[in-house]
Amino acid sequence: MKIKKSTKALAAVASLAMLSTVGLSACGSSDGGETDANGKPIIRVALIKRSTQIEAKDMKLQKDLEAACDCTIKWDEILDTQWSQQSSTVLASGDVADITVWGYNASNFAQYDYWEDLSDDLDQMPNVKKYFKEVPNAEKFGSDIDGHVWQVPSDYGNASGAKWSSGQNLMINKTWLEKLGLEVPKTWDELTKVLTAFKNDDPNGNGEADEIPMLINQLGTSGFNWWDPFLLLNGTGLNTQMIANGNQGIYIKDGKIGNFMITDNFRQVIEYYHSLIEQGLMPKDILTRDSSQNSADISNDGKTAKVGMIFGWNTGNFGDLKDQYESIEVPAAPGVSYEETTWEPQFEDIYNGACVKAGLDDEHKAAALKIIDKWIEPDTSMESYYGDLDKYISNEGDGKYKVIEFQKDLSTYGLADRGLTYVSDDMSVSGDEDKVLAEKDGKTYETQQSHIGDKDLIPAYVRLSAEDNTTVSNNNSNIFNYAMPLISTWIQDGGLTDAKWNEYVDTMKKQGVDENVKLWQKWYDKTMAEE
C-alpha cells in the first residue's frame, strides 16, 4: 500500500517535470505555421514602440491590413528601450517574428540569415515594385551588395520634417544675447566672449551668479553619441556623421577615410573645452555629471533660464523655456573660414522598414507580402503614421493630407516612424507641428551642410562584411578603453602636451586605428565602385 502511494506521487512529480521541459522546448520552435479558428493564417508582426504609443490593435490599421491579407494579425509590441537588449537575444535564438517593422538594420541582415530575400517576390507586391521604381535609393537601402532585398524600407519623402533636420542642434539662449546686446557667435573666440558675458553679466536678471554658460553631455565609454561634445569638430571643417560611422570616430574627407580621434582638429576641440572649464564657463565636474542633473538645470524651474548653450534634439529640450532658445550655426575654429565649417548631414528620409521571416509556408508568406504591400498604400501609410483616417488625419484628395489632431509626443495616435510609411513625391501633409520645428532648425544648418562635398560623406549603405566588422569592433573596444580616460582627463584637467599627444597618436595607431581605417576604406571603395 505504502509503496503504491509513493510510486503514484513519484509519477506525478515526474510527469510535472516532463511537462515543464516540454513547455520549455515549445518556446524555441514556433514555425509561424499557426492558423486561427477559421483556418486563416496568423501572422505575427513585431513592432518596436515608444512607451506612450497607442496599441496597434486599437487602430483602424489592423482591420485594413487584415482585410487585405485575409489573415489574422498578432502584434508583438516591444518597447524601444528594451529592444536594444532584446534584439541581441532574439537574434541569438533565431526566433524572429513573421514580419518585423523598424527592428533590424543592414548589419543584422548581413550577419544573420533569418530573413526572406524579397527580390524574387516583388511581383506579388505591385505597390512595392512601383515604390522601388520611383525611389531607387529605397531599394538600395533595403538590399545588400549582391542584390538580395532584405527589407522594404520606409520613405517619408518630402513630407518629412525630419528630412530637414539632422536631429543634432547647437542651441543658445537668444533672450540672453538680446539682453546683453550680443551677436550670435561666429567663431570660437566670439563664443568664449559670449559665454564669459553669460557668466558675469547676470543675463537671467535674478541677481545671482547661477548661470551655467554651457553644458555638454558626458563622453561615452565605448563610442561617440548623439549630441556629443565633439560635434564641435564640425567647426574645424571636419564632418562628423556622429550617428553613423562617426560614433567610432570614422570620417571621410575627399574620399579618404580617417579617424578623427587622432587628428589635430580633435586636439583643438579638447583644448578649447579645457579652456572653457578653466575659465569657469562649464562646470568642473561636467564629465561626471549625471544626465538627470543636466536636464534639471536645462529646464530649471520653467521660468528663469539657467543654461546658456547645449547640444540637443531641438528647442523642445528646454520645456517651458523653449521660446528663449534657438539653434545656431556652429562657430568656426581659429584659422578656419566659414566656408570650411560643416554640420551633421540631414537625416536620410529612408529608414528601416519591414522584413519577412525566411522559411514561412506559402500561405503565410503570401499573407505577409500582402500585408506589406497594403501598408505602403497612401491611405494606410498615413493612417499608420498619424492615426486613424478621418479622426486624426483626413485625405483632402489629390494626394493632400491634413493632420486633424497632432500627436504631441510623436506617437499617441499612430505608429509614427515605427510603422511602415511611403510618401511619394506627389503627396503632401499639412499640420505636422514636429515638421515645422524640424524645418526651422534644419534651415539653420542648410548652408553649413552644403559645405559637405560629395566625397566628404560616407553613404549609409557602405557596410563592412561580418568578419571585418568583428575586427573593427574588437579594435574599437581597445581604442576607446585607452582613449576615453585620456581625452576626458585632458578636457577636465588639461596637461595635454606635444609629447603626450604624439604618444597618444602612436598608441592609438597600434591599438588598431590604422587597421580600422584601412578596412573602412576598402569597403567604401568597393561600394563606390559598384555604383
The binding site for other proteins (CB under 8 A) comprises: 2-3, 6, 9-10, 13, 17, 20-21, 24, 85, 88, 91-92, 94, 111-114, 218-222, 283-285, 287-290, 292-293, 470, 473-474, 477-478, 481-482, 484-485, 487-489, 492-493, 511
**Integer Cα distance of 114 and 250 in angstroms:** 29
Least distance between other proteins and beta carbon 521 (Å): 21
From the number of C-beta atoms within 10 Å of its C-beta (0-12, 13-18, 19+), residue 144 rates as middle
Closest CA to 304 of 195, 215, 207, 217: 207
Can you state the angle between helices 466-493 and 498-508, rounded to 10 degrees? 170
Q: Which C-beta is closer to other proteins: that of 113 or that of 120?
A: 113
3-class SS letters over 94-160: CCCCCEEECCCCHHHHHHCCCECCHHHCHHHCHHHHHHHHHCHHHHHHHECCCCCECCEEEECHHHC
C-beta neighbour count of 418 within 10 angstroms? 25
Residues whose CB is less than 8 angstroms from the CB of residue 33 and which lie 6 or more positions away in sequence, other chains included = 360, 361, 364
Q: Which three cell numbers stand for residue 420?
A: 511602415
Sign of the Cα pseudo-torsion (44, 49, 54, 59, in order): negative
Q: Which residues pair with 496 in a beta bridge?
A: none
CA 295 to chain centre: 20
**Integer Cα distance of 238 and 235 in angstroms:** 7
Least distance between other proteins and beta carbon 465 (Å): 14
Q: 271 and 497 in contact (C-beta within 8 Å)?
A: no
SS3 400: strand
Q: 349 and 155 in contact (C-beta within 8 Å)?
A: yes
Closest CA to 438 of 92, 61, 93, 164: 164
Alpha carbon distances (Å) from 173 to 215, 291, 316, 434, 440: 12, 20, 13, 21, 16
Q: Which three cell numbers stand for residue 82?
A: 528594451
3-class SS letters over 484-513: HHHHHHHHHHCCCCHHHHHHHHHHHHHHHH
Least distance between other proteins and beta carbon 285 (Å): 4
Q: Which C-beta is closer to other proteins: that of 285 or that of 361?
A: 285
Q: Which C-beta is closer to other proteins: that of 210 or that of 396?
A: 210
Least distance between other proteins and beta carbon 270 (Å): 12
Least distance between other proteins and beta carbon 2 (Å): 8
Least distance between other proteins and beta carbon 106 (Å): 14
Least distance between other proteins and beta carbon 294 (Å): 12
Least distance between other proteins and beta carbon 163 (Å): 29
Least distance between other proteins and beta carbon 252 (Å): 22
Q: Which C-beta is closer to other proteins: that of 35 or that of 288?
A: 288
Q: Which C-beta is closer to other proteins: that of 258 or that of 280?
A: 280
Least distance between other proteins and beta carbon 318 (Å): 21
Please identify which residue in the block is written with the cell numbers 567647426: 235
